Amino acid sequence: MAVYLFKEEPMKLKNKESELFEYKFHYHLGDDLGAGDKYFLAHDRNEASEMFCYACNKSRLDLNDIHISKWNRWKGKWEILNSSPSCSHASRN
């Protein structure tokens, strides 16, 4: 009978900075009654907001009523975040 002994290594913690989260930006265009959503994977809310603003400024979108949500994979639902981005259109070329 063979006996195998394994050296148990401590569990390595993931680097928090490398973890990505999914963000959803729900918005209305100008006076349009319809709504749209854009999704981004980012390390934090600020990074996601920067990507959202870049995409909107590049497409020259006139946005109203923006809401940000973050996907909670443990609860399996979107969690609404309190602040919304203010995309400056002054940075357009």
Q: pLDDT at position 16, please?
A: 57
Per the listing, tokens 């919304």 go with 84
Q: pLDDT at position 93, please?
A: 37
Question: What is the spatial distance between Cα 46 and Cα 28, in angstroms, rounded to a whole number?
Answer: 21
- pLDDT tens digits, residue range 3-47? 556 566 665 655 655 899 999 999 888 777 778 899 999 999 999
- pLDDT tens digits, residue range 75-91? 999 999 987 777 764 44
Output the pTM of the full model: 0.71
| DSSP assigned state of 53 | H
CB 28 within 8 A of CB 63: yes
Q: What is the mean pLDDT of residues 47-51?
A: 94
| DSSP assigned state of 17 | G
Question: What is the spatial distance between Cα 23 and Cα 59, in angstroms, rounded to a whole number?
Answer: 19
Partners of 69 in the β-ladder: 24, 80
